[in-house]
Structure formats: structure tokens, C-alpha cells
Amino acid sequence: MIIISLIFITQTAYSQRELGRKERKILYNSSYNYEIQPLGVGQDGTKVVKVWGYGKSVEDAVQVAKRNAVAACIFRGIPAGPGVATTPAIVRDPNAAQEHADYFEEFFQTGGKYLNFISLSTDAAPSGSDRLKIKRKYYKVGVSAQVMYDNLRRELEQEGIARRLDKGF
Amino acid sequence: MTVKNNVLIVLLIVFSIQSVLAQRARKPTIMVVPSERYCIDQGFSQTFDNQGLEQTIPNYRKAMQNDAQLRLVITKMSGIMADRGFPLKDLEQELRNLQTQDAEMEMLMSRESGSMVAESPIDRLKRVAKADIILDLDFTINERGPQNWITFNLRGLDAYTSKIIASAAGTGNPSTSAPPDLLLEEAVLSHMDEFNSRLSSHFEEMFDIGREVSVTVRVWNSSYFDLYEFFDYQGHDMELIDIIEYWIEDNTVEGRYSLSDGSANFLRFEQVRIPLFMTDPRGRERAYDTRRFISDLSSYLRKEFNIESQIHQRGLGEAWLIIGER
């Protein structure tokens, strides 16, 4: 019994060392932590994706997921999926987020302009495997969303953040 | 604020607008052309006897007139490219224009003397459908039982360097419900963002290290000297071949070029990176292309060595300089 207890305590301590509460919080809130996958080829100028978000409530996590979908299209792109090719990031300069920090801070603020470029295709709050309670009062939810990719690209081109294909000609 | 200051401000604005307008590089033309494999596979080809060798070439006119799915893909791609600031040259319209031009050239004559329009055999050869970037398109509609799926292959080729500057290829998901036309539309939508991203990288590189072009120097048969002839170069005896190479080295971006082949009668420079802009004798910045680049080489040879030459342009990215006479 004592040995089993010791093993359990050691394991817990080890796992906590590997990814502590603080680290997990940083990970969930990281601006690079986009969990996104394509669901199919969207209509003209749009991308249909499944995207995940973390939050203290399901509603919060859904909002974070929406923001992540737009952020992924801007900074990281969407990986290829079955029958769907890779979607490149709209902004290819890796330092763009820092260089245009003021713009993006306003763009991604609560109720910000980013909401113009996303719509959810799931009406109800996510349930089942799309709604995971990862600890007490902390949720991870997955939502299906449609990103207005071409409109988003045009917006960033107009702001001079993304490069137009015909720039310089 | 005085009147003098106002005039100064207006002048400054005019100058800055002028310089912004002047700093535009020559825009490459882009045209979608179905691949040879596609045309031959679909029966849009013709076979002829080329000096005992049977040769099959694509018949683009037949393809455009008969293949609705090809037209659908091209239309879809044209819409996307126009939205990105690159309206595509339409192959079908280009072929039609050429046909009309042929007929007009045959009939056109001067009112006074009845003279026909001057056209050398080389001018006639140049009257073909062409673009600076060819989008070589190939797709297959696969079928297995009730399922259809698309294999899509798009290559962006620089017409002068023959390099693939962008590409996108892949296979779509099999579907039992979607008709082939819808699957084709999906394939275009799925691949064009990736393709345009690669094309954008190519353009960015071009703005950083210059436009990549090919330059060929040839010698007229009637010339009394060849490229191994010695000339006085800054007090040294030097072969013309070396003099030309020095000039190319001095006038390319960061001296980037590659002398791929040469003999007494020809020199071929590849991966020649020429600047996108130049300052003209009036001090204005203007777009620079291969014709101007080779024209500068021609002027240099005439002024410094009394060598006459003729320029033969082969589009935005390739030119020949034929030396010996004009």
C-alpha cells in the first residue's frame, strides 16, 4: 500500500513538473496554439474549418475558438486535410504580429473587427466530444466555423499588412 | 502660409506622385494553357510527319471549342486571378484574335500605292498566342463505381527561363453525390490559394534580386569577326566573349548570372538577374526589361568597340543580340 502510494505521489509530482498549472495556462492562452483542421472546401472565398478554443466557460471557449480560426488564417495557415489543399497564411512575415501589434490588439479585442470574418456553422453550444471539461471550471470546445478568407485577405492588404499579389507592378 | 510655400508643396506632391507612378515594374502576362498530356489524352491533338518522325502536337483551338469542363476550370481560375490583380489572358480569345489578324494582314493595303503591310517570316512566326507566365493545367476526372474524384495539377512556368515558379497539385475526396463539374470547381478553389502564395514568393524574390531573364549573343554569318576576336579593353587585348561577360557581370543585380554555353558564334547567359528599374537620360526612374538591358549592351559595344548589332526580342524575359551588322 505504501509503495503504491509512493508511486502515485511520484507520478503526480513528475507530471506536474512536466506541465504545471502555470505552464498549462500559458499554453491555453498562447497566441500560437491554434488547433485547427479543414472540414472541406468552402464556397468561393471562404474556408470551412473545425477549430478548438479554451475558456472558463463553454461560451468563453467558443469565442476563443472563433478568434483562433481568424488568427490561424492570418498567421499560420490551415493544414491540408482529406481532399483539401493547404491554405497558406495571409501574412507571411513572421514578425507581422509584433510590427502591427496596435492594429491586431484592436482587431482581436472582445467584439473586435475579427468577428466580421467568421461565422459559426454550429448553432447550439458544442456537446459530446466537442466539449471537454479539462479541469474544474475550464473547458476545451471544438466548433465548426466558416472564415471569410478572401475578405480577410483584402482587409489586411488594404491596411498594408499583407502583400498584394500585384504589388509593385 | 505664403504663395511661395503653397507652390512648393504642390510641386512636392506632383513629384512624389510621379515617382510613385514611375516605380512600377513591367507586369507579366499570365495565360492558362491546357497541358499537352491533357490535350492528347482528350483527343485534342493532331499528328503529322516531321521529316520521317511522327509528331503529335496539341490542338488548343479544338480543345477550347469542345471541352466545357476545361472552359469551366479556366473561367474559375480567371475570376480568382482577376481578383488578385492579375487578369488572365484568355487562350480562346487570343487564338480568335490571331485568326482575325491573319485575315486582316492578308487584306490590308495602303490607299496611295496599294502596298501591303511589311511582315518578315520572323514576324509571322512571332504571331502566336503567348504570355510571360504559362499556367500549365492538367486534371483528370477519376471514376470508380458511383464515385468521382479529381486529380488536379497546375504548374506556373516562366516562359523564358522554363522554370516552374509556382505549382499546386492534389487529389480531391471521392464523392458519390457531387457531379464532376462541382468537383472541378472545388479543386480550383482548394488549390489556388496555395498556388498564388507561391507565385507571390516568386514576385517577392524578383523585387529583391531582380527579374530572371535569358540573354543570347549570336553572330551574323556575314560578320568579319567572331566572339573570339581580340579588342582593346582598357589597354589590354581581350576576347569579345570576355568583354561581353564583364559587361553582364557589371550590369546585373549583385553580379548574378550564369554563362551556360558559348562558342565562337554564340553565348548563352541564363539566370541573369536584371534590375526592375532604371534611370533614363532625363533622370526619371522607369521600368527595365530585357529589351532595354540588351539595348544597353548594344550601345556599349557600338560606342566602345564600334561593333554594330541587332536586337531580337523574344518577350519580356528573353532577348538575342546578333552582332556583326544591324
Residues of A in contact with B135 (CB under 8 A): none
Q: What is the pTM of this model?
A: 0.81
Asked if residue B265 belongs to a domain, the reply is: yes
Residues of A in contact with B83 (CB under 8 A): 150
- B249 & B182 share domain: no
CB neighbours of residue B91 within 10 Å: 23
Mean pLDDT along residues B134-141:
94
Asked if residue B79 belongs to a domain, the reply is: yes
Q: Does the CB of B142 have a partner CB in chain A at under 8 Å?
A: no
- B240 & B286 share domain: yes
Q: Measured between CB atoms, which of B86, B168, B201 is closest to A85?
A: B168
d(CA B167, CA B130): 20
Question: Is the pLDDT higher at A19 or at B205?
Answer: B205
Inspect the interface and report whether the beta carbons of A169 and B27 lie closer than 8 Å: yes
CB neighbours of residue A58 within 10 Å: 17
- B140 & B36 share domain: yes
| Shortest Cα distance, chain A CAs vs residue B234, angstroms | 39
Instruction: Look at chain B and report how many structural domains it folds into.
Output: 2
The residues spanned by each domain of chain A are 1-29, 31-158
pLDDT at B19 over 60: no
Mean pLDDT along residues B227-247:
94
DSSP annotation of B89: B
pLDDT range class, residue B173, cuts 50, 70, 90? confident
| Shortest Cα distance, chain B CAs vs residue A3, angstroms | 54
Give pLDDT tens digits for A107-135.
999 889 999 999 876 656 777 778 888 87
- Residue A13 pLDDT: 47
Q: Are A143 and A65 in contact (CB under 8 A)?
A: yes
- B191 & B79 share domain: yes
Residues of A in contact with B207 (CB under 8 A): 168
- Residue A8 pLDDT: 52
Question: In CATH, what number is assigned to the domain containing residue B69?
Answer: 3.40.50
Residues of A in contact with B27 (CB under 8 A): 166, 169
- Residue A14 pLDDT: 44
Q: Are B150 and B140 in contact (CB under 8 A)?
A: yes
- Residue B314 pLDDT: 81
Give the residue numbers spanning the domain of B71. Answer: 30-102+118-207
SS3 A1: coil
Select from B188, B207, B226 the last residue of a domain: B207
- Residue A24 pLDDT: 65
Asked if residue B135 belongs to a domain, the reply is: yes
- Output the average pLDDT for chain A: 83
- Residue A123 pLDDT: 58
Select from B207, B237, B270 the last residue of a domain: B207
Asked if residue B305 belongs to a domain, the reply is: yes
Chain A's closest residue to B170, CA to CA, is A85
- B184 & B250 share domain: no
| Shortest Cα distance, chain A CAs vs residue B58, angstroms | 29
Mutation to test the A interface, candidates B193, B208, B289, most A Cβ within 10 Å: B193
Select from B181, B207, B233 the last residue of a domain: B207
- B82 & B137 share domain: yes
Residues of B in contact with A42 (CB under 8 A): 189
**Closest by Cα among B54, B52, B20, B56 to B38:** B56
Mean pLDDT along residues B141-159:
93
Give pLDDT tens digits for B44-71.
998 988 888 888 989 999 999 999 999 9
Q: Are A129 and A154 in contact (CB under 8 A)?
A: no
- Residue A30 pLDDT: 65
Tell which B residues from 169 to 208 touch A, by Cβ distance under 8 Å. 170-173, 186, 189-191, 193-194, 196-197, 199-201, 203-204, 207
Asked if residue B238 belongs to a domain, the reply is: yes
